[in-house]
Amino acid sequence: MKTSYNLLTDEQQELRLMVREFADKEIIPGVKDLDIAGEFPHKLYRKAFDMGLTTMTLPEQYGGMGLDIFTYSLLKEEIARGDAGFAGAIAGCFMGSLPALLSGTDYHKNLVAECLNNGGVMAFCLTEPDSGSDSASMRTTYVDDGDSYVMNGRKCFISNGGVADLLLVFATKDRSLGNKGISCFLVETKSAGVSVGKHEDKLGYRTSATTDIIFEDCRVPKANLIGAECEGMAIMNRSLNRTRPTAGAGAIGNAQYAYECAVDYAKVRTSFGGKPICKFQGVGFMLADMYTQLEAARQMVWHACRCADAGVVDRKLFSAAKCFAADVGMNVCTNAVQVLGGYGYSREYPVEKRFRDAKIYQIFEGTNQIQRVIINSDICKD
Ligand SMILES: Cc1cc2nc3c(=O)[nH]c(=O)nc-3n(C[C@H](O)[C@H](O)[C@H](O)COP(=O)(O)OP(=O)(O)OC[C@H]3O[C@@H](n4cnc5c(N)ncnc54)[C@H](O)[C@@H]3O)c2cc1C
């Protein structure tokens, strides 16, 4: 049967099938135990590195695959179909590296490339205990001291925390400057003054390591400042215009697997005279809606990613794609639990994990409320 995937290039179809096979054979079989333990999947990360997936967005001249945003999002969806948390490990590298690749010097790009090409991990450090959506109110500060900056503060909820080798960190020179005081740095975790704080014990997304990262009189070489001082927010926005369109791909992949489980179950589970439950309209229409919503979200994310690749910066489209895909993901996973009835609520079946994992997509990379704030502000500007 032909699907929209047949419109992809041969290379995209091959890559997508390769990653789907990796998810089916290597990720999905072991993910239940990793989820219960709340463990970062180091072995899977190594395998993904060997396949080139952890460096897929690094330009070819820096040793990566040089994939565009759209192709990255296709593969991210397939990895998240395997496991949302593991897709987050790879997304952390993408988000951590992109500001350096877009706005950095050759030195910054080589620092990122050296880390990722050696199987290293990156993390994106913006959120703080008292500053999440309102990132301009951050308290992590830096001061100029000779040939380095001295950084102090605490970041929280950092994906890849505790496993990352290289951090992308936002810090302010002067809190009173708000958005205009923030700068962006690459900080090696082996630097003196960097430590890992609390590990979050989470509802879902449990194979992703989420921790506090603490900076205590941490000396950051001046060369590690990306762009000019106080340009941090502009650098972040340039990067967000590439990363945000991909944010929904994880939500779709996670929910796609829940949908597949629901369809398989509904075909074999019988009730009222041995009739498969998919033949009851109440269940069948749920499956039809799940398919429709997933396909709508997927096409919206594809379109947003293609716009990003073409340099069409439509902020409200990027936010809408993230927001819609995350809401669809939550809805589809909720309905997948419903289709499986009591078994949907049991750890014996995989959909309860998908339901727990779906929630994160409505919260991180800008909550869905913040996406709506952005969409509305652009609508009202037009
Ligand atoms: C598992 C996980 C992984 C994460 N990974 C990372 C990471 O790698 N790097 C990183 O920097 N951060 C990361 N985060 C942090 C995440 O991005 C923030 O949690 C998120 O941005 C929300 O910030 P907050 O938690 O402080 O909530 P708040 O900003 O305090 O918001 C609380 C509630 O108020 C709403 N709200 C706030 N302001 C408004 C407004 N103006 N209008 C309407 N509603 C509003 C929010 O939508 C939310 O519902 C992660 C979080 C989690 C849970």
The structural domains of the chain, with segments of one domain joined by +, span: 4-117, 122-230, 233-381
Q: What is the DSSP letter of 60?
A: G
pLDDT recorded at residue 3? 86
Of 253, 225, 265, nearest to 360 by C-alpha is: 253
Q: Could you tell me the sign of the dihedral formed by the alpha carbons of 315, 316, 318, 322, in that order? A: positive
Atom of ligand 1 nearest to the CA of 368: 47
> What topology is assigned to 4-117 in CATH?
Butyryl-Coa Dehydrogenase, subunit A; domain 1 (1.10.540)
Q: Check if the beta carbon of residue 54 is closer than 8 Å to that of residue 48.
A: yes
| For ligand 1, mutation pick of 160, 210, 363 (most atoms within 8 Å of CB) | 363
Superfamily of domain 233-381: Butyryl-CoA Dehydrogenase, subunit A, domain 3 (1.20.140.10)
The residue whose CA has the least distance to atom 38 of ligand 1 is 133
Question: Atom 41 of ligand 1 has which residue's CA nearest to it?
Answer: 370
What integer pLDDT is reported at residue 159 of this predicted model? Answer: 98
- Residues 89-120 pLDDT 10s: 999 999 999 999 999 999 999 999 999 999 99
Using alpha carbons only, give the angle 98, 240, 18 rounded to the nearest 5 degrees. 60
**CA of 155, closest atom in ligand 1:** 11
Q: Whose CA is nearest to atom 30 of ligand 1?
A: 132
Beta bridge partners of 300: none
Model confidence at 382, pLDDT cuts 50, 70, 90, reads: low
Task: Tell me the mean pLDDT in the region 236-253.
Answer: 95
Compute the distance between CA of residue 275 and CA of residue 253 in angstroms, rounded to an integer.
Answer: 30
Buried/exposed code over 149-174 (b: 16+ C-beta within 10 A; e: otherwise): bbbbbbbbbbbbbbbbbbbbbbbbbe
| pLDDT computed for residue 4 by the predictor | 86
pLDDT in tens, 1-28: 788 898 999 999 999 999 999 999 999 9
C-beta of 369 in contact with ligand 1 (< 6 A) = yes
- Dihedral, CA of residue 71, residue 75, residue 81 and residue 86, to nearest 10: -130
The Å distance, Cα 96 to ligand 1 centre, comes to: 18
DSSP string over 172-205: ES-GGGGGGGEEEEEEETTSTTEEEEEEP--SS-
- Over residues 137-164, the mean pLDDT reads 98
User: Which numbered atom of ligand 1 lies nearest the CA of 125?
Assistant: 11
Q: pLDDT tens digits for 263-279?
A: 999 999 999 999 999 99
Question: pLDDT of 368-378, one tens digit each?
Answer: 999 999 999 99
Euclidean distance between CA atoms 342 and 332, whole angstroms? 17
For the segment 34-93, what is each residue's pLDDT rounded down to a tens digit?
A: 999 999 999 999 999 999 999 999 999 999 999 999 999 999 999 999 999 999 999 999
Q: Superfamily assignment of 122-230 in CATH?
A: Butyryl-CoA Dehydrogenase, subunit A, domain 2 (2.40.110.10)
Show which residues are catalytic.
365
